[in-house]
Amino acid sequence: MMQGFVNQNCEAIISIAVGQANTPKQMVNAVIDTGFTGFLSLPLSIITTLGLSWHFRDFGTLGDGSEVIFDMYRAIVIWDGQTKVIDVAAAETEPLVGMSLLRGYRLQIDVVESGLVKISALPMLVRSDHIT
Amino acid sequence: MVNLMAVRQPRYSKEEFARLGDEIYESQIRPQVEEGNYGKIVAIDIETGAFEVADTAIAATDRLYERYDDAQPWVIRIGHRTLYRFGSKSLKKPL
């Protein structure tokens, strides 16, 4: 189980360890964004600091419906005590955690300033992941 | 000879990357992959035209890099305009 908090803008914040394989990870505070279907977005300054490797490009859809070309990087995150390989989109906003990273988890948010954010594994999904 | 793995980076502008990727997809790949693969991911090397289809972008690009270490991957979600969305559904424009 992971815990985060709700900030003064009523955004749900979770702190996650991000980096490359076999290197020390850096803690990053990210806003949980259920409208983001990817794993994680980071500004290029953090991507450069972490030394993440570029992997591919794609089109992404922004909130106004426009389509933008994104540079995608590869990272390792520590998620619920396990290392996980993810795509990272380079985006000059605050870091965002998206639904691909949350897949298989229950997200609970007490939406009030300083409220509690809880992310816990869904037992059924974890079991079926282990079978496959 | 010392085998140093070069740092991967894009060798084309973003616009050129997308133009080449979409052109290769539409002309060569889409007719082969679209049927029965809706929602799957295709990673295309815009230099060789090689491609890999997988359930995730991570798997598709890893397979492409196994074959072409120097690949320049453009990634498409089959049947969709974009791979990921940031706070919006894709506009209902024709593909």
ipTM of the complex: 0.88
pLDDT over threshold 80, residue B89:
no
On whether any CB of chain B is under 8 Å from the CB of A63, the answer is yes
Give Cα separations from B64 to A56, A66, A107 (angstroms): 11, 28, 34
Question: Looking at residue A131, what is its pLDDT?
Answer: 44
On whether any CB of chain B is under 8 Å from the CB of A33, the answer is yes
Model confidence band, residue B1 (pLDDT cutoffs 50, 70, 90)? very low
| Average pLDDT, rounded, for chain A | 93
- Other residues' Cβ atoms within 10 Å of the Cβ of residue A38: 26
pLDDT over threshold 70, residue A98:
yes
Six-digit token string for B25? 């997809």
Closest by CA to B83, choosing from B32, B49, B42, B48, is: B42
| Average pLDDT, rounded, for chain B | 90
Query: Nearest residue of B to residue A68 by CA position?
Result: B82
Question: Looking at residue B66, what is its pLDDT?
Answer: 97
Q: Quick one: how many helices (H) and strands (E) in chain A?
A: 3, 10
d(CA A113, CA B81) in angstroms, rounded, equals: 37
Question: Looking at residue A23, what is its pLDDT?
Answer: 87
Average pLDDT over residues A90-113: 96
Substitution target in A22, A33, A61, A69 with the highest count of B β-carbons within 10 Å is A61
Contact state of A54 with B10 under an 8 Å Cβ cutoff: yes
Question: Looking at residue B30, what is its pLDDT?
Answer: 95
Decide: A43 and A90 in contact? Cβ < 8 Å.
Answer: yes
Question: Looking at residue A123, what is its pLDDT?
Answer: 87
CA torsion sign, A30 to A31 to A37 to A41? negative
pLDDT digits 0-9 by tens, A24-80:
899 999 999 999 999 999 999 999 999 999 999 999 999 888 999 999 999 999 999
- pTM for this model (two decimals): 0.90
pLDDT digits 0-9 by tens, B55-80:
999 999 999 999 999 999 999 999 99
